[in-house]
Structure 1
Amino acid sequence: MFGSSIKIGRIFGIPIGVHYTWFIVFILITGILGSNYFPSEFPRWSGFQTWGVAILTSLLFFASVLAHELGHSLVAKRYDIGVKSITLFVFGGVAQIAKDPPRPKVEALIALAGPLVSLTIGGIFLGIYFAASDRNDSIAGLAYYLGSINIMVATFNMIPGFPLDGGRVFRAIVWAVKGNFVSATRFATTVGRGVGYLFIFIGVIRAFWYNDLSSGLWIAFIGWFLENAASQSYAQVAIRQALEGIYVREVMSRDTSFIFKRIDLQTLIDSYINFSGKRFFLVGEAEKWEGVLSLQDIRKVSREKRRETRVADVMVPVGKVATVKQSDELLKAIEIMDNADVNQVPVLDGERVVGVLSRENIVRLLRSRAELKAGA
């Protein structure tokens, strides 16, 4: 979903991105504030003042959402759990945590951090509102909206519908009681899907029974998102469970054929790729590999220049290549691939390349296991 995000910087070493859907909701919120909310609350404001405060309020609201996600992320980092990125999108924001928390307590602390940040921000803005209400109505209007909306965000996120923050706290409680992470996730997912269906039902009733089409459809859309997110979250956990106890050496391809770095890309395409369908290449020699080349690297070169471009010109040199050991657990290897954002990695035994691990290998393993389980 977040492949189309625009990277805007880093905070505490965490990449921050904005998905294209954020721009849509930013325009909608600014439009509602500028054309409806502020004109009705402050009819004597000029157009410039109204729209200026509306734009600033929208920006500060999304800064608050970012702070909410940073709350999750910093607590995760405190417990040595990596954070891949934070992305702002149509429903607010999401912090992509690298792995599941090791204990129920850590899960609960990470989940609670975001709502606590939102409550704190909400309290600060409401304090500003009370201090400025008799002095500056621009600041007061902005502060009241941001104070109220942040408290609403905290309250909404504490609904026990997984994968909302409240749902994650609920999973942590069930996990602590049952002692089984997967079982707790399954239970929390069932509740989360139920919450999603409830939102859909409320949205439909509001849209067609009370003739409030816009808000009704929005509530139903949120419900659909929650139900879908809960199902996907459980699927990810189920996949991790299926891969536990499996090692790289059991899944990797043992094809260690190399290509020479001096050949040009067009020759490689004509004489090999078009016939083999291979997407990833080791560059060098068996005893001395010098890098890797993928189809993504080749695609960066225009067709007109592929004849004059050598493999050495576009390959990823050894020093920058993510690698795994054949003795690594598969889950660890997947984490390495995710962090490097690659689909294939060389497998090493000491300094020697003994194979290649690809996501295709992993998918094939999962598919085979699923088919065998279905046939049992």
Structure 2
Amino acid sequence: MRSFRIGRLFGIPIELDLTFLLVLPLFAYLIGTTLAEYASLVNEVLRPTNLVEVSALAGEPTVALVVGLVAAVGLFVGVTLHELGHSLVAMRYGFPISSIKLWLFGGVAQLSEMPDDWKQELNIAVAGPVVSILLGVVSYAAFTAVQPGGTAVAALRFLLAYLAVVNVALAIFNMLPGFPMDGGRVLRALLARKRSYARATQIAAEVGKLFAIGLGLFSLFGGGGLFLIAIAFFIYIGASSEAQRTVMAAAFDGVMVRDIMTPAADLETVSPDASVADLLGQMFTERHTGYPVVEDGRPVGVVTLGDAQSVKEVERDAYRIEEVMSREIEFAAPDTSAMDALEQMQETDVGRLLVMDDGELVGLLSRTDLMTALEIIKQGGAVSRSGESLGTAFGQTD
């Protein structure tokens, strides 16, 4: 388990990734052991207003570590509220939020479905930075309201000033055009006003990748540190994967599982009583690497080449398919969209879906089927059941 739930906000599960448990104490330690430096940096940003009392924080290691921990927790509370801003606006438009997850690089609101209306995406994207700005303003107002005092007051003033600066910085950084960050999503929304959603995503993704390369080079040669390099890598990968997903969604628009599955009439199956040796022979003859396992006309499992290879060669005549097959079967209906089927495969980490209709096996859909269909569609060579060319999704221009 890579994450666990710690509670809910407005019905949205809040989850902590395991990487968060590593980065939180690290941040707390870094802030606590360099508290005077952080206080001086905050002062530089806040000049010429009331300043944090750096001298009052020096020489108190226990206080410094406690302040570091509270500051680190406050940072991630701000990140959570930032993501909550995105989530509440998305929910207002009818998009469910599966969770808000805190991890190594901050937080992410996991929408179960992405908007394809540019105004909705624009409003969802800017909601997070707006919340961060508001948090910064409130923290700064509280900082100016607290008058200088002893060590405890100095620590409180530092925390308020730190949260003011860091929340505003979070908003500014997120609004940079590093798709899939907020600024990149704003850019895509604005581009989508006069372009197809797929084309707008491709442009925003290219801008995001250029931004990631620039950030990485700056971090490498300008002393930005490994953390910024890691963020640059994350942005580049995120931009690439988001672009690929959107392109695939556009290509599969209107395509159903029934359009690209292998129908039952052409589907080869195996019996659970057959030996693993016979299975490998059938795989070699038919050039298949996976089969539905059917007993009395009913699917009872799926067996793959990997399952067969798990049995030692000298034992393959003795082992039955039912002993090595997977009984955890993923199903799809014929009228499931191809994109939903692909996402189901990705979420469940399977390579095949058995297609069932009223309890009857009517076909099989594999990743290979989907990828082959995608390549044909991108070349303009596929037609949906309605007769419209699906390749036109890629032929639109600016």
| Cα offset, 1:171, TM superposition | 1.1
Two-structure CA RMSD over aligned residues (Å): 4.0
Matches within 5 A, 1:163-242: 163-176=180-193, 178-206=194-222, 213=223, 215=224, 218-242=227-251
1:170/1:314 CA distance change after superposition, 3 Å: closer
- The answer to whether residue 108 in structure 2 is matched with residue 94 in structure 1 is yes
2:365 partner letter: L
Q: Which has the larger radius of gyration?
A: 2
1: CA distance, partners of 2:58 / 2:195: 60
2: CA distance, partners of 1:18 / 1:8: 9
| Cα offset, 1:191, TM superposition | 2.4
- Deviation by residue 1:90-136 (Cα, 9 ceiling, x = unmatched): 32122333333120111112111211222232233323323344362
| Cα offset, 1:55, TM superposition | 1.4
| Cα offset, 1:64, TM superposition | 2.0
Give the alignment partner of residue 8 of structure 1, picking from 1, 5, 8: 5
**Which residue is 1:140 aligned to?**
157
Moved more, 190-199 or 154-163: 190-199
Moved more, 274-283 or 145-154: 274-283
2: CA distance, partners of 1:138 / 1:268: 72
SS at match of 2:113: coil
Structure 2: 5+ residue stretches without partners: 40-53, 313-318, 382-398
**Which residue is 1:210 aligned to?**
none
Give the alignment partner of residue 349 of structure 1, picking from 325, 343, 357: 357
| Cα offset, 1:336, TM superposition | 4.5
1:69/1:48 CA distance change after superposition, 3 Å: same
Structure-2-length-normalised TM-score: 0.71
- The answer to whether residue 359 in structure 2 is matched with residue 361 in structure 1 is no
1:168/1:335 CA distance change after superposition, 3 Å: same
2:339 partner letter: L
1:36 partner letter: T
- The answer to whether residue 179 in structure 2 is matched with residue 162 in structure 1 is yes
Is the CA contact 1:17–1:85 (under 8 Å) kept in the aligned structure 2?
no
1:334/1:171 CA distance change after superposition, 3 Å: same
| Cα offset, 1:198, TM superposition | 3.0
2: CA distance, partners of 1:38 / 1:235: 46
Matches within 5 A, 1:29-178: 29-38=27-36, 41=54, 42-44=56-58, 46-134=60-148, 136-176=153-193, 178=194
1:67/1:115 CA distance change after superposition, 3 Å: same
SS at match of 1:100: coil
1:253 partner letter: T
2: CA distance, partners of 1:229 / 1:195: 12
1: CA distance, partners of 2:237 / 2:326: 40
Structure 1: 5+ residue stretches without partners: 207-212
Matches within 5 A, 1:306-321: 315-316=327-328
1:221/1:327 CA distance change after superposition, 3 Å: closer
1: CA distance, partners of 2:26 / 2:238: 23
1:342/1:60 CA distance change after superposition, 3 Å: farther
Is the CA contact 1:8–1:18 (under 8 Å) kept in the aligned structure 2?
no
1:159/1:236 CA distance change after superposition, 3 Å: same
1:174 partner letter: L
**Which residue is 1:209 aligned to?**
none
- Deviation by residue 1:313-351 (Cα, 9 ceiling, x = unmatched): 9845xxxx7532213321233345556665433212233
| Cα offset, 1:140, TM superposition | 2.2
SS at match of 2:116: coil
SS at match of 1:357: strand
Is the CA contact 1:256–1:356 (under 8 Å) kept in the aligned structure 2?
no
1: CA distance, partners of 2:14 / 2:102: 11
Moved more, 231-240 or 269-278: 269-278
| Cα offset, 1:168, TM superposition | 0.8
2: CA distance, partners of 1:98 / 1:233: 14
1:96/1:279 CA distance change after superposition, 3 Å: farther
Moved more, 187-196 or 267-276: 267-276
1:48/1:200 CA distance change after superposition, 3 Å: same
**Identity fraction in percent:** 26
1: CA distance, partners of 2:220 / 2:374: 38
